[in-house]
Amino acid sequence: MGRVGFVPAATLELRNVSKRYPGAAEAAIEDLSLEVPAGEICVLVGPSGCGKTTAMRLVNRMIEPTGGDILLDGRSILDREPAQLRREIGYAIQQIGLFPHQTVGENIATVPKLLGWDRARIAARVEELLELIGLDPAEMRDRYPAQLSGGQRQRVGVARALAADPPLMLMDEPFGAIDPINRERLQNEFLRLQGEIGKTIVFVTHDIDEAIKMGDRVAVLQKGGHLAQFATPADLLMAPASPFVEDFVGADRALKRLALQRVRDIDLWRAPIVRVGQPVAEARALIEDSDLPYPLLVDEDGRPLGWLRDAALAGDTVAAEPRSRATPVLDMDDVLRDALSDLLAHETQYGPVVDAQGGVTGVLSVEVISHALAAGSPATVPSPAELAE
Ligand SMILES: Nc1ncnc2c1ncn2[C@@H]1O[C@H](COP(=O)(O)OP(=O)(O)OP(=O)(O)O)[C@@H](O)[C@H]1O
């Protein structure tokens, strides 16, 4: 798309990295190795004090490692001039620290200015980024940070980090200070944005749910910066590598996996789909051939009208009544967790699933979901970017 993201994403590799702060009894990071492929989001997650922020600050040389090496696109960052390196690495933090006496536009322009871009190029870039993060440039460009909501400030912080199109982004609890509802919105927006810009991103959080949602891969850190597990969210939930990880991901890890799969990713039941006036013999043959004994009445466009009772099949042709409502109607794009809570809220075992046009494509049942849970392999679990579509 456009000019945004024209700089290719970089690979990042931490090789046996250690950091001991001067005078500290124990290392903050000990022998940490991990590789982040270009264009992926790697989440660092773990309890307070496990070294997440330290690891991140090592990458842009705000602090120096006491051992090991860090490679950006295969090249050691230790050979790089720190100020210049930092201009290639976007950095977004909690309570973003926008400059209060500069406008939104000036804040976003910080790094391009340092890079000596001309005014026209900077202005175009600011406009482009404001649009990208969903803020109206005309309305927002000249406001000051105090005139924005917390969520808007956070978006501007992300835009500032993206301004010079860095091949690597570091994000330290970027949504940490935002209330849960706006946080979820920002997460979804950010995943959509990442679908367009495909940056390599290191994302720090202490929230395992955020890690599972945002990460292509998740590094679970333990005190002292020990890597307890480095895996995809699905692997982490399915096969925690140690009691520490198991405890950290939580006892509800099976349920959490339901947030990683969409209805369209699993095999649905086939329902006997019938229309008014159809010969009953045909309807009965359909019932024989389906996973469910109850005929689902649909309108001429295939939209669900309700489950037919036996008496509706008493004549030669299918009657519209009696029937019960086919609620809830589930969407192919629902994640399984939401679909399950819909079924439970309606006190029913199954519900029709419709596509974007509203036509029935199958039936989702609690049983189908429980099969998906038992069988779900990591290969069938989509990436966060796909989930955000
Ligand atoms: N400047 C410093 N000097 C000395 N020790 C430090 C310094 N910064 C961090 N530490 C120590 O290093 C360890 C790791 O800290 P770090 O901030 O990286 O953890 P974190 O996982 O980001 O924690 P949190 O989730 O609480 O932000 C902690 O024990 C901390 O006390």
Tell me how far the alpha carbon of residue 224 lies from the centroid of ligand 1, in angstroms: 9
Query: Which residue, by CA, sits nearest to atom 28 of ligand 1?
Result: 49
Query: Which residue, by CA, sits nearest to atom 24 of ligand 1?
Result: 48
48 lines ligand 1 (CB under 6 A): yes
User: pLDDT digit string (tens) for 293-351?
Assistant: 999 999 999 999 999 999 999 999 999 999 999 999 999 988 898 899 899 999 999 99
User: pLDDT digit string (tens) for 219-245?
Assistant: 999 998 899 999 999 889 888 999 999
Assigned fold of 12-257: Rossmann fold (3.40.50)
Tell me how far the alpha carbon of residue 78 lies from the centroid of ligand 1, in angstroms: 22
Q: What percentage of the chain reaches a pLDDT higher than 70?
A: 94
Tell me how far the alpha carbon of residue 46 lies from the centroid of ligand 1, in angstroms: 12
Taking 90 as the threshold, does the pLDDT of residue 71 lie above it?
Answer: yes
Tell me how far the alpha carbon of residue 195 lies from the centroid of ligand 1, in angstroms: 32
Delimit the domains of the chain by residue range: 12-257, 263-375
Taking 50 as the threshold, does the pLDDT of residue 381 lie above it?
Answer: no
Task: Ligand 1 pocket test: pick from 32, 50, 204, 226 the residue with the most ligand atoms within 8 Å of its Cβ.
Answer: 50
Task: Ligand 1 pocket test: pick from 32, 52, 210 the residue with the most ligand atoms within 8 Å of its Cβ.
Answer: 52
**Which of the two residues, 380 and 264, has the higher pLDDT score?**
264
Q: Among 3.40.190.10, 3.10.580.10, 3.40.50.720, 3.60.15.10, what is the CATH number of 263-375?
A: 3.10.580.10
**Which of the two residues, 14 and 265, has the higher pLDDT score?**
14
52 lines ligand 1 (CB under 6 A): yes
Taking 90 as the threshold, does the pLDDT of residue 287 lie above it?
Answer: yes
362 lines ligand 1 (CB under 6 A): no
Taking 50 as the threshold, does the pLDDT of residue 3 lie above it?
Answer: no
The pLDDT value given to residue 7: 67
**Which of the two residues, 273 and 98, has the higher pLDDT score?**
273
pTM over 0.80: no
Assign 366 a pLDDT band (cuts: 50, 70, 90).
very high
Distance CA(106)–CA(85), nearest Å, equals 22
Identify any residues that bridge with 330 across adjacent strands, giving them in sequence order: 353
Task: Ligand 1 pocket test: pick from 14, 17, 21, 95 the residue with the most ligand atoms within 8 Å of its Cβ.
Answer: 21
Whether 94 contacts 85, CB under 8 Å: no
**Which of the two residues, 157 and 278, has the higher pLDDT score?**
278
Which ligand 1 atom lies nearest to the CA of residue 26? 29
57 lines ligand 1 (CB under 6 A): no
The pLDDT value given to residue 311: 93
27 lines ligand 1 (CB under 6 A): no
